[in-house]
Amino acid sequence: MSENCIFCKIANGEIPSATLYEDEDFRVILDLGPASKGHALILPKEHAANIFELPDDLAAKAIVLAKKIATTLKEGLHADGVNIVQNNGEVAGQTVFHFHMHIIPRYKGDTVNMGWKPGELTEEAKEEILGLFKNA
Ligand code: 5GP
Ligand code: ZN
């Protein structure tokens, strides 16, 4: 647990939260500033600032848990779709530096804004990026 980390305190029950699910590794809570009805956050109990610090076993468990939470929310709230979002770094929109996954139910006609303007894949960029994975 990291001192002065709000999500460490919430995940470990030091600060009360609207908890949807809890096991030995995770707590799932309702977001205090929901993008839509049912917006939930998956928090590991162990502190990791972002996905790069998250141990592989927790990363694997997190996506399975995300599927379970998304399924219950979608069915229970009659959502039309779900976004699963995970931000790393300030430039990527991360504001709380304890790894978390957003589960955001989506409803036809909702006003959730999560888009980007499609760019263009240049040959140069493509070759550079393919090169990164050649010996990976
Ligand atoms: P980020 O921008 O880091 O991906 O997401 C942080 C999220 O945490 C935001 O959606 C914000 O509303 C939520 N949040 C921030 N502080 C608290 C809190 O104290 N309790 C809860 N439940 N959610 C919080
Ligand atoms: Zn933390």
pLDDT score, position 76: 98
pLDDT score, position 2: 78
d(CA 4, CA 8): 8
How close is the Cα of 38 to the center of ligand 1, in Å? 14
Q: What is the pLDDT of residues 43-96, one digit of tens each?
A: 999 999 999 999 999 999 999 999 999 999 999 999 999 999 999 999 999 999
35 CA closest ligand 1 atom index: 10
Q: What's this model's pTM, rounded to 2 decimal places? A: 0.96
Is 100 an annotated catalytic residue? yes
Residue 115's CB is within 10 A of a number of other CB atoms, namely 6
pLDDT score, position 75: 98
How close is the Cα of 29 to the center of ligand 1, in Å? 10
Q: Which residues of 33-49 are buried (b: 16+ CB within 10 A; e: fewer)?
A: eebbebbbbbbbbbbbb
* CA distances from residue 123 to 128, 129, 131 in whole angstroms, order as listed: 9, 10, 12
Q: Which ligand is nearest to the CA of 43?
A: 2
Average pLDDT of the chain is: 97
The pLDDT confidence band at residue 3, using thresholds 50, 70 and 90, is confident
- For 127, the 3-state DSSP assignment is helix
Q: Is the C-beta atom of 135 inside 6 A of ligand 1?
A: no
Mean pLDDT of 8-27: 98
Q: Is the C-beta atom of 86 inside 6 A of ligand 1?
A: no
